[in-house]
Homo-oligomer: A and B are copies of this chain.
Amino acid sequence: MSQSIISLHPLSAYTFTVKEQQPEEDASVAARLQRLQNNYEDFGMRRTTEAVLVVHEHGHPHVLMIQIANAFFKLPGDYLRPGEAETSGLAARLETILAPSPAEPNSYGPRGPAGEAGDWEIGDCLAEWWRPSFETFMYPYVPPHITKPKECKKLFLVQVPPTKTLAVPKNMKLLAVPLFELYDNSQRYGPQLAAIPHLLSRYNFVYL
């Protein structure tokens, strides 16, 4: 019944640097869907975790997002290896993508050995999205008559440790997008990112 209180640090508390590029695993959407299908045949349903990193500017919540090729937006995260735990797996992905440690492009995502988990605090599960087939569309529920979904993606609220340095691969941009920009804007951000204001509305934010 009691509502969760979350302390947000100002965007200015963080230092941003650039590190070596981390190329996308797949060169096209078609290649990504083909890999999904291949992995499904080998390992079953793909499990993906992504982080909703929230900071504030002028007392309004902003979500940290990655922009690739000046085009599409995504949350930091990736799919997990078979059997890999959600929490430590997500923390390791965040460390690979955003920590200033020496870039290890080959350890990005499930391709290489597991990375360090860093000091990321993985919080509440905010949402689950389901992919019913080897196509691009996902839903925030398992659609009726779908017994074998191909992917389940979970979004977690992640507290950014105060005064952390975030190192962004140079082929990506890290943007702090205000909730009022995301809201009702699935045309620009897609349905998953545009729903984040809804998912966060139950929290009482304290602006440090």
Residues of A within 8 A of B (CB): 1, 3, 58-61, 87, 122-129, 139-141, 143-144, 178-180, 183-184, 191, 195, 197-202
Contact = CB atoms under 8 A, between A and B. Distances in A.
Main secondary structure of the interface of A (DSSP, over half): mixed
Contacts of A126: 202
Given A1-B124, A125-B3, A127-B202, A141 B58 contact: no
Given A127-B201, A198-B127, A202-B125, A141 B61 contact: yes
Residue from A125, A197, A198 whose CB has the most chain B CB atoms within 10 Å: A198
Given A1-B125, A60-B141, A184-B191, 6 more contacts: A1-B122, A3-B125, A60-B144, A61-B141, A126-B202, A140-B197
Contacts of A178: 144
A126 B201 CA distance: 8
Contacts of A125: 1, 3, 202
Nearest to A147: B59
19 contacts: A1-B87, A1-B123, A1-B124, A59-B144, A124-B202, A126-B202, A127-B201, A127-B202, A129-B201, A139-B180, A140-B201, A141-B179, A141-B183, A141-B201, A144-B178, A144-B180, A184-B191, A198-B198, A198-B199
Contacts of A58: 144
Contacts of A201: 127-129, 140-141
A177 B59 CA distance: 37
A154 to B, nearest CB: 8
Residue from A60, A87, A201 whose CB has the most chain B CB atoms within 10 Å: A201
A11 to B, nearest CB: 14
Contacts of A61: 141
A184 B124 CA distance: 24
Nearest to A199: B198
